Amino acid sequence: MGGLKESPGANAAHLCIDMQRLFSAEGPWPTPWMERVLPNVLKLVTRAPERTLFTRFLPPQTADEAPGRWRAYYAKWSNATRERLDSKLIDLLPALARFAPPAAVIDKPVYSAFATGELDRRLRNRSVDTLIMSGSETDVCVLASALAAVDHGYRVIIACDAVCSSADESHDNLLALFRRRFDVQIEASEAEEILDAWRPG
């Protein structure tokens, strides 16, 4: 695909968004492509597990605990609140969970991985300047996290064959948007191209 402008560099980290059982076939929000992209996610994790950060989407205990319009969201998706959800569905997919530690796991209550401030603190403490992003879903949490990363000044590389969505059209549209509208700040590339160029420090 030739989406990389240059090597990710020694100060890159891999940010893997919400590859949880919650979004697998057994959860309330199944993402059919998750199993398809998992091998490419695994390749990125395996290259540098100590430079990988996993996020997990953590629903509220009840809809009433959610702020603002999130309350209406969880009134609709009450089966996804923690009072009704099998707690094991919050876990990372088993194939990924075995890498944590050394990989870090950060829980987030909303779409963006940067919402709580914890992720940015960890990245700054490790002098990370580039994020290689994978995970679920391209048009929701990956999108929100990628734009937040741009706002924080990070170089963003989307591993386009290691992200997935439950909506094919919006997945394709988002990858096109990243390439056309955000081409200075976001690069979209295949996992193999990223791995060929990435030599973690």
Residue 1: predicted pLDDT: 43
Structure-block tokens of residue 72: 């209406």
Given a contact cutoff of 8 angstroms between Cβ atoms, the answer to whether 121 and 148 are in contact is: no
What is the DSSP annotation of the chain? Answer: ----SS---TTEEEEEE--BGGGSTTSSS--TTHHHHHHHHHHHHHH-GGGEEEEEE---SSGGGS-THHHHHHHHTGGGSTTTS-GGGGSBPHHHHTTTTTSEEEEESSS-TTTTSHHHHHHHHTT--EEEEEEE-TTTHHHHHHHHHHHTT-EEEEEEEEEE-S-HHHHHHHHHHHHHHSTTTEEEE-HHHHHHH----
| Residue 116 backbone phi and psi in degrees, to 5 | -85, -15
* pLDDT tens digit at each of 201 positions of the chain: 458 889 999 999 999 999 999 999 999 999 999 999 999 999 999 999 999 999 999 999 999 999 999 999 999 999 999 999 999 999 999 999 999 999 999 999 999 999 999 999 999 999 999 999 999 999 999 999 999 999 999 999 999 999 999 888 889 998 999 988 998 999 999 999 999 999 887
Give the distance from CA 84 to its chain's centroid.
24
Give me the residue spans of the domains in the chain: 12-197
Q: How far apart are CA 91 and CA 104, in angstroms?
A: 13
Q: What is the pLDDT of residue 73?
A: 96
Half-sphere exposure of 101 (CA within 13 A, CB side): 1
Tell me, what's the pLDDT at 2? 52
CATH architecture of the domain 12-197 equals: 3-Layer(aba) Sandwich (3.40)
Q: Give the rounded distance of the alpha carbon of 35 from its chain centre.
A: 15
**What is the C-alpha separation between 48 and 148, in angstroms, rounded?**
23
CB 51 within 8 A of CB 13: yes
